[in-house]
Structure 1
Amino acid sequence: MRIRLLGGLEVMSREHRQVRFTTRKTSLLFAALVLGGRRGYRRELLSETFWPGRSNEQARNSLRQALVDIRRSFPAGGDAPVYIDGDQETVALITGPDETDISIFDRKLEAGRTADLAFAADLYRGEVLAGEAIPDELDEWFGPYRSTYQRKALQLVERLSQALSEPGTAEESACEGLAERLLAMDPTVEAAHRALMQIHALRGHENAALRQFEACRALLRKHLQAEPEAETSSLAASLQSRQGSEHRRTTPGPDPVPQPQAISAPAKHHDRPSVAVLPFQNLSGDAEQEYFADGIVEDITIALAQFRHLYVIARNSSFTYKGQAVDIKQVGRELDVRYVVEGSVRRTGDRLRIAGQLIDTSTGTHLWADRFDGTLANVFDLQDQVASSIVGAITPKVEEAEIERAKRKPTESLDAYDYYLRGLAAFDRTVTNRSVIDEALRLFREAIERDPEFAVAHARAARCYATRKSNGWMLNPADETAEATRLARRAVELGWDDAVALTYGGYVIGYVGGDLDDSAACIDRAVSLNPNLAAALGVSSWVKVCLGEPDKAIEHATLAMRLSPLDPRLFAWQFNIGLAHFCAGHYDDAAVWAGKSLRHQLNYPSAMRVMAASQAMAGRLAQARETIARLCLMDPALRLSNLADVLPPFRRPDDRNRYIEALRMAGLPE
């Protein structure tokens, strides 16, 4: 192995001398090429990403110089195991299978034998490029690789700790070392705490295992204000039970010995929908695909757990059904869950097909089903894609089912969550019917009255005021703006770790309250907490437009639509793309996307304003005037003089000025 990326960048030449590149950018470019593998990258992408702000010619020249520097240490020709390959358009770093730690790590992980897992554990010395000074512009490039290998390390420490059968082995030592390194990087990693608990127990040191649990609990409370996961608490409870039974067997005399109080798993919250992801069936006839199937389940379970309105059963509980033919209704009763995710993995040659479905355990009804195809060459990318797609599809379906469940309940038995769901059903029907939005606001306030610390209800109530502002419905703008901002900031305060509360609270803080910086901070945190939350990405696209980042806005809205293609808020994300294209000067594209939004939400004033402005800037003044005529029928009081009351808080003055001027050209009255 010549190239190490896990735990920092270390490169050795063929003569086993340490390689030091001329510049830091060259070192990072080399690391990027290693991670990119044989598929490589387009030269244009590399030059623009690594040397932003320069002219195209200057950036391409910097790339060429960096590649010359790399070739100096790794010349091509003969039997060179590491060399640069490419043409005028693309460039790649070709490496042998044993030349980089990440390739060996992935191979050992896929092999899956205990000795291979131990070998992989020893290779993981830390995060990808740990300790390297990475410029801000390259954070987004390396961030996904860091996340991917960190996730693999967490899966690895879990698998290896469960595979240990006796103390004193090299595998035990490797597992312990990996767990300790993971905790040094992040002391709240519960998988590492559980691994150390299991190792202590394997050695017969139950007291040390329970001390590890107490340390875990203290660290979670200190850093996250959270309690251990059910899986961690369950392991501690079983260790206490074992310790207690051992004590009873060895203690003479009739006097009962006080036992430690059992540590129970967190109580289930039946006001929240509950989900279990069952083990996926391996239909391949290939035992090596078993790990891949289990990895998908692990990813889906972790991703679903990021949705705070869901109660997600821990993997260890759902995996008790592995290899069994199950009755879904029985599973629902035994795990006490409303919904179950099932799936399968089938391999044919180098092709993989993954199928998933969501089932209501009370009725056996299939609420959603889909399948995903890919190749073994991109097995981990496919795993991530499947997990995010399934999660993105499941959460709206669960929400729909919960809304229908709330509608069937008699009004005298409604609690805060049911009022919230009914408010959500009303709000998602339309944003152009004032009485419906008023009813949604009333229902959200009912939820808050029954639970004053219900963060998302505060955020959704605030969101109703934002809709009133956008439609020009505010009767007392000063009072309603103050109330909307109060609700939004209270939502953020109560739900700082709740991605949904941050999403809608952050939006209102920006649009109604006018504080774009706080708005962006809340929404960025929402995306960070739950990258699979389509609503967070959709609202992020809006704030990116306001900040003057139209390309990023389009990217986030597009991802939101991919995650939740049938979402009731689809029209808002399409509007955001239209607004982003307008700000970027792509007026025909802006009109197309505004039109898509209006097809999903007829008479949506925000989309109509973008449509009219885009048509005017594209020179289609007759169409623009027709659109303005329709808009004025809906909102007769709208004028250029009060347009500021409904406009987004654009950071770039040119975006705002062009928008206003375009609507003037379209015929909006003074």
Structure 2
Amino acid sequence: MSLRGVWAELRDRGVLKAGAAYAAVGWVALEVLSVVFENLGAPGWVLKVITTLILIGFPVACVLAWAFDITPEGIRSVSFVYGKPAPQSANVVVEPSTEPSVAVLAFDNLSTEPEQAYFSDGIAEDIITDLSRLSQLRVIARNSSFTYKGGPVDVRRVGRELGARYVLEGSVRKVGQHVRVVSQLTETTTGALVWAERFDRDLTDIFAVQDEIALEIIEALRIKLSPEMEARLTRKIPVDLEARNLFLRGREHAFLLTANGSIEARKLLERAIAISPGFSSAMACIAFTLVEDYVMGWGDDPQRSLESGLEIARRACAVDDQDPYAQVYLSLALLWNRQHEESMVAVRRCLALAPSHADGHMQLANLQYYMGDIEDALNTLDICMQLDPLYPEIALYFLAEAQAASGQLVAAVATLRRRLERNQNSETTYALLASCYGHLGKIEESREAWAQVIRIAPNFSLERRRRILPYRTPEIFERRIEGLHKAGLPI
């Protein structure tokens, strides 16, 4: 176990607090007793004996703090298994909740090779995907829950920050063809352990371990599954582990949202598909990069990229019609092809498969905005931000677009300013900001924002955006242009 892990374990079990409190009380006691004994004329050896007893008691107090935890249910023992409480402690009674919520943190990689982090991340992410299929459970998005990766974890703080009642932590140790996975589920308001287990398996059984963890969590939270839902949770199209690692690496490049990132992503994703031809999520991610090429105007033939993206997204759904990722990226490709109704069918299919799919809700909000259903878009974005409390910056842009379209211009400006705190080089943010300022009559601020657009993207073209943005109600975009005209900008 790492030094960081030991330190976190000492903190979480209250050993540090207990040691500090014991030392403080012992020091005060010795100071008081030294004065009392001196006045009484007691021999010096008496104070030495008491000092020795206090020193001996210090490690005893620390051991007791390590072994026992004071909870609302009383004093309970806590064992130690690779930095996690052992299964026999998992007897805390959990009160049923109308909407239990869980955040699955990135599993610690305890292997000697740093590159195995993709393997441990994949385990946690597959568990998120499984749990997100349950309508009775709100599952926090990976984007938020993985924020705590690599640092000490205070489950109470995580619960407060993510609005999650439960936190799932874990660690993975891979040695050759053997893997050990340790996982625990904790209630965030009390810090009480709900469930914990250790799995020692052959590497070929790793997907079965993921299913077992998901089902154990469901049982611990007293969620009733229909036989059909249990079958869906344990249904897996075989994917090679190397292919999964390539997929995770490729997706990381894709989400950089750069031209080179898209190119590198496709190289890795194509290798993943060559190993596992039925890997629908890898196909869908390629579709995402191709749509992004079209939107951003990257490559020699953006229109052809869009057509290819739609073709590959359809193929991904044909390979696995139960994959929510394939459905959400099919919806994205259909939207940019201006097939709004079919796009809605795909994103609704995604959310039927996985009600807690944050990307699905984001896509639904985006689609509703382009279809002119602004209030619906704002409501969907609210759901999305509950599922992904540390939401990506693009969510702020989508929110500002919907706010501006609904006439909430002051709110839109505030939202855009929040996005600029996270990304100061977004020409689209400054362009929308310039329009909002124009409508508000803040001419100087509008012109300053437009100057930033030209600084970042000298060839920025409103005409191209008018041509490619998939509005079913073009009046929304024309109102944006109107704001720029009000500021007297030369567009």
Task: Provide TM-score, normalisation by structure 1.
Answer: 0.40
Question: Which of the residues 467, 476, 479 maps onto 1:655?
Answer: 476
Q: Gaps spanning 5+ residues in structure 1: where? A: 1-276, 284-288, 313-327, 347-351, 363-382, 386-412
> 1:302-451 to 2 correspondence within 5 Å?
307=129, 338=181, 340-344=183-187, 415-428=242-255, 430-431=256-257, 433-451=258-276
Does residue 602 in structure 1 map to residue 424 in structure 2?
Answer: yes
Secondary structure of 1:484's counterpart equals helix
CA offset digits 1:332-351 (Å, max 9, x no partner): 99x977462422488xxxxx
User: Contact 2:243 / 2:272 at 8 angstroms: preserved in 1?
Assistant: yes
| TM-superposed deviation, 1:290 | 5.3
Residue-pair matches, total: 313
Distance 1:607-1:329 versus aligned 2 partners, 3 A rule? closer
1:612 aligns with 2:430: no
The SS at the match of 1:636 is coil
1:562 Cα deviation after fit? 2.1
In structure 2, the CA distance between the partners of 1:304 and 1:475, relative to structure 1 (3 Å rule), is closer
CA distance in 2, matches of 1:339, 1:669: 61
- The equivalent residue for 2:465 is 643
1:573-588 matches, within 5 Å, as 573-588=395-410
Structure 2 equivalent of residue 506 of structure 1: 331
**What is the alpha-carbon distance in structure 1 between the residues aligned to residue 369 and residue 172 of structure 2?**
49
SS at 2:344 equivalent: helix
- Correspondence 1:472 to 2:297: yes
Q: Is the contact between residue 639 and residue 668 of structure 1 (CA under 8 Å) also seen in structure 2? A: no
Q: Verify: 1:529 aligned to 2:350, yes or no.
A: no
User: Where do 1:22-421 residues align within 5 Å?
Assistant: 281=90, 283=92, 289=93, 292=96, 307=129, 338=181, 340-344=183-187, 415-421=242-248
Distance 1:660-1:279 versus aligned 2 partners, 3 A rule: farther
CA distance change for structure 1 residues 417 and 659 in 2, over 3 Å: closer, same or farther?
same
Identity %: 20
2:307 pairs with 1:482: yes
The reply on whether 1:455 has 2:267 as its aligned counterpart is no
Show CA shifts across 1:345-378 (max 9, x none).
Answer: 88xxxxx88777999989xxxxxxxxxxxxxxxx
CA deviation after TM superposition for structure 1 residue 580, in Å: 0.7
- The Cα shift of 1:599 comes to 2.5
Letter in 2 for 1:421: L
Distance 2:380 2:429 in 1: 18
Asked whether the equivalents of residues 587 and 618 of structure 1 are also in contact (C-alpha less than 8 Å), the reply is yes
**Aligned counterparts of 1:475 and 1:462: Cα–Cα separation in 2:** 17
CA contact (8 A) 2:285 2:329 kept: yes
CA distance in 2, matches of 1:572, 1:622: 26
- Deviation of residue 611 (structure 1)? 2.1
**Aligned residues of 1:495 and 1:502 also touching (Cα < 8 A):** no
Unaligned runs of 5+ residues in structure 2 are 1-85, 105-124, 135-169, 201-220, 224-239
**Aligned mates of 2:429, 2:296 — CA distance in 1:** 11
Q: Which residue does 2:364 correspond to in 1? A: 540
**Aligned equivalents of 2:376, 2:404: Cα separation in 1:** 14
Distance 1:426 1:466 in 2: 15
1:322 counterpart residue number: none
Structure 2 length-normalised TM: 0.54
Q: 2:133, 2:179 → 1: CA distance?
A: 10
* Cα gap change, 1:666 to 1:571, in 2 (>3 Å): farther
What displacement does 1:510 show? 0.5
CA RMSD of aligned residues (A): 4.4
User: Using the alignment, how far apart are the partners of 1:499 and 1:646 within structure 2?
Assistant: 26
Map of 1:492 onto structure 2: 317
- Give secondary structure in 2 for the equivalent of 1:343: strand
With 546-555 and 413-422 compared, the bigger mean Cα shift is at: 413-422
Q: d(CA) in 2 for partners of 1:572 and 1:551?
A: 19
Residue 452 (structure 2) pairs with residue 630 (structure 1): yes
* Residues 1:281 and 1:454: Cα distance change in structure 2 (over 3 Å): same
**Aligned partner letter, 1:477:** P
- The 3-state SS of whatever aligns with 1:415 is helix
Cα distance in 2 for partners of 1:384, 1:665 equals 58
Distance 1:357 1:609 in 2: 50
Distance 1:445 1:329, change over 3 A: closer
Deviations 1:83-125 (Å, cap 9, x if unpaired)?
Answer: xxxxxxxxxxxxxxxxxxxxxxxxxxxxxxxxxxxxxxxxxxx
Query: Matched residue of 2:390: which SS?
Result: coil
Evaluate the alpha carbon distance shift between residue 291 and residue 584 of structure 1 in structure 2; reply closer, same or farther with a 3 A threshold.
Answer: closer
- CA shift at 1:547, angstroms? 1.9
One-letter code aligned to 2:395: W
Q: Distance in 2 between matches of 1:280 and 1:292?
A: 20
CA shift for structure 1 position 628: 2.1
Residues 278 and 340 in structure 1, CA contact (< 8 A), matched pair in contact too? no
SS at match of 2:471: coil
Q: CA deviation at 1:584?
A: 0.7
Judging changes above 3 Å, is the alpha-carbon distance between structure 1 residues 585 and 310 closer, same or farther for their aligned structure 2 residues? closer
Query: Higher relative contact order by CA 8 Å / sep ≥ 6: 1 or 2?
Result: 2
C-alpha deviation, 1:646, in angstroms? 4.5
